[in-house]
Amino acid sequence: MKIESTQNERVKRARELLNNKGRKNTGLHFIEGERLVREAVVSGATIVEAFLEEGHDLMAAVLEGSGAKVYTVNRAVMEKLTATNTPQWVCATVKTEKNDLPQYYPSGLIVVLDCVQDPGNLGTIIRTADAMGAVGVILGEGCADPYAPKPIRSAMGSIYHLAIWQTDNLLDEIKKLYAQDFSLICGHLNGGSTLPEIKTKCAVVIGNEGNGVSDSVADLCTKYRLPMYGFAESLNASVAAGIMIYETASIMNGKSR
């Protein structure tokens, strides 16, 4: 089916997914660009509707084979659908996977985000967690929506590679991890400069960009401050997270620091 009007109802419905309300009401999120759409297909995500410009028959066949309803659109419609200024030739609506909070967390590295509000930071941290072999990411109250357009783009497909758990009571999940013998490490300005002994189960906690990790959460963690050799007193949340996740993953994988 070909769509040529920017006022088409399917276009309007897809466009609503750029807003938090639209995502919550439908249980869907929106992705754009060839790489992200391919990652969604390969990862087994449920693609509901896909919109392509003409001349991409192979991708259309792949998307149809995955069960998606595929529509051909002109450039004006593609620009209306997407959030970027110069969109690529494909976008899609995808069912948002709901991962219930587990009673028992899996062994391995878990990244915990305490009110990380910047969408770009959130997506970058999820991508880093994926690259370093984390089994999942826990998002506490106040975090940005991981399925909003900017985190989705920043994560570059990693949103489909590992479990994303969301909670309205992060302290309860921290207590659960503690009870299940996880090593809990949080980035903190008052922390020591040496990492503690790390077990096969470890949670790295990253705090809010301005206020850091909340006191109630930090009190259950080993506080760790990245050594600084210059004049800056702190790092961007996603940069600090990247270093901490890398150091922790290296130790857990038997690599020297």
pLDDT digits (tens, 9 = 90+) for 118-141: 999 999 999 999 999 999 999 999
In whole angstroms, what is the distance from residue 56 CA to residue 59 CA?
6
Q: How far apart are CA 120 and CA 214, in angstroms?
A: 21
The residue-averaged pLDDT of 6-32 equals 96
Work out the pLDDT band at 194, boundaries 50, 70, 90.
confident
Query: In the chain, what percentage of residues exceed pLDDT 90?
Result: 84
How far is the C-alpha of 101 from the C-alpha of 180, rounded, in Å? 14
pTM above 0.95, yes or no: no
Residue 15 has pLDDT above 60, yes or no: yes
What is the C-alpha to C-alpha distance for residues 142 and 166, in angstroms, rounded to an integer?
10
Average pLDDT of the segment spanning 169-191? 94
- Can you give the pLDDT at residue 114? 96
What is the band of 80 on the pLDDT scale with cuts at 50, 70, 90?
A: very high
Range 108-252 has CATH code 3.40.1280.10? yes
pLDDT score for 256: 52
Q: Looking at residues 88-117, what average pLDDT do you find? A: 96
pLDDT of 67 reads: 96
Question: Which of 104, 230, 233, 71 is closest to 173 using CA atoms?
Answer: 104
Pairing state between β 201-206 and 183-192: parallel
pLDDT score recorded for residue 57: 94
pLDDT at 164 over 70: yes
Average confidence (pLDDT) over 104-111: 97
Domain regions of the chain by residue span: 2-95, 108-252
Check whether 257 has a pLDDT greater than 60: no
Q: What is the DSSP letter of 161?
A: T
At 190 the pLDDT is 85
Q: State mean pLDDT over 14-38.
A: 96
pLDDT digits (tens, 9 = 90+) for 45-75: 999 999 999 999 999 999 999 999 999 999 9
> Can you name the residues that pair with 186 across neighbouring β-strands?
205, 223
Q: How confident is the model at residue 255 (pLDDT cuts 50, 70, 90)?
A: low
User: Domain 2-95 falls in which CATH fold?
Assistant: 60s Ribosomal Protein L30; Chain: A; (3.30.1330)
Averaged pLDDT of the chain = 94
